Amino acid sequence: MIDAGSTAFFSAIGACLDPQIIWLLVSSVPGGLWVSAIPEATQRISGHLGLRVDYTFRFRDVWRHQDLLLEGAVLTLQLSGSAIVFGVLIGVLGAGMKTSQFRQLRWIVEVYVEVIRNTPLLVQLFIVFFGLPSLGIKLDAITAALITLSINLGAYLVEIIRAGVEAIAKSQIEAGLSLGMSRLQLFRYVILFPAVKIIYPAAASQFVLLLIASSVASLVGAVDLFHAGAFIESRTFRSLEAYLVITAIYLVMALFFRAAFAGIYHVVFVRR
């Protein structure tokens, strides 16, 4: 599943994380010796406090399981990506129902949004994964996580989308009509595009939060990136290194997607 190119790439990163090579790199830049003295200083301070520290970081043991890390990262991205698609559908549907003339429909959406936003994601996941089987609905970990994450994201998006659509002033629509726009043109140029422009930044930050929060899926046994960390920990007993690497990968993904979403916003909405 993992091709040779990516293996070489990960080995290179793994080698770079080796303490001795880091020391060489760090001490080769001006002022780097000072940085490389930090671990020693920490040890000396702890020594004065009567604490004994002799720990060597061994990231190599963790990087040896790079294929697991890659597979976990791919599943995390697939899971979050699918949850975003379903979450957006739920959000649009909910926002539509909230502007409905039927009181019952509005009430259902309001209860949905309040219940989901005021309970922990982890407990929601436990209800879907552990609770539903007692009603005869058995789901595997990934499906349960996908359902929970979609429902959770949808609740946050309902409010964001509704606010975006409501921000389009009625006078704008009337102005469009007076220009002789067709209904389709009106929807495309006066309602959809400006509304998406308003909704986009808040929605994008929810998407990144979802990517990070999807790590709870590992707690019901979905083999996502965080699960890979737990597995590597159990194999190597390098708990700190395993979770440092996993958390760093999440950080890189979060920063990458935040930058990507901002870039898309700039290209689509600003440069026109």
Partner 1 sequence: MRELVTGDFIWLLFAARWTLGLTVVAIVGGSLIGVIIMVLRVVPLAPARAVAIAYINVFQGTPVLGQLLIIFFGIPILTGANVSPWAAAIVSFSLYAGAYLGEIWRGSVQAIPKTQWEASASIGLSTMEQLRYVIVPQAFRISIPPTIGFWVHLVKDTSLASILGFIELTRAAQIMNAATFRPMTVFLTIASIYFVICFVLTRLSARLEGRLRVAR
CA distance 224 to 220: 11
CA distance 212 to 206: 10
Among 117, 138, 188, 266, binds partner 1 (CB under 8 A): 117
Contact between 179 and partner 1 by CB under 8 A: the answer reads no
CA distance 71 to 235: 17
CA distance 228 to 222: 10
> For residue 5, what are its two tokens?
């190119």
**3-state DSSP of 161-176:** HHHHHHCCCHHHHHHH
Contact between 134 and partner 1 by CB under 8 A: the answer reads yes
Contact between 201 and partner 1 by CB under 8 A: the answer reads no
Contact between 42 and partner 1 by CB under 8 A: the answer reads yes
Neighbours of 206 (CB within 10 A): 20
- Minimum Å gap between C-beta 138 and partner 1 is 12
Contact between 124 and partner 1 by CB under 8 A: the answer reads yes
CA distance 82 to 182: 34
Choose the binding region for partner 1 from 7-15, 16-24, 99-107, 208-216 (rule: CB under 8 A). 208-216
Contact between 118 and partner 1 by CB under 8 A: the answer reads yes
Instruction: Return the residue matching tokens 């994601």.
Output: 121
- Minimum Å gap between C-beta 229 and partner 1 is 8
> CA dist 227 to 73, 94, 121, 197, Å?
10, 32, 17, 36
Taking the CA atoms of 192, 195, 199 and 200 in sequence, report the sign of the dihedral they define: positive
Contact between 37 and partner 1 by CB under 8 A: the answer reads no
Contact between 135 and partner 1 by CB under 8 A: the answer reads yes
Taking CB under 8 A as the criterion, which residues in 227-266 touch partner 1? 229, 239-240, 243-244, 246-247, 250-251, 254-255, 258
- Check residue 29 and report its DSSP letter: S
- Minimum Å gap between C-beta 161 and partner 1 is 19
State the binding string over 215-234 for partner 1 (x if CB under 8 A, else -): xx-xx------x--x-----
Q: Which residues bind partner 1 (CB under 8 A)?
A: 42, 46, 49, 51-53, 55, 114-115, 117-124, 126-127, 130-135, 208, 212-213, 215-216, 218-219, 226, 229, 239-240, 243-244, 246-247, 250-251, 254-255, 258
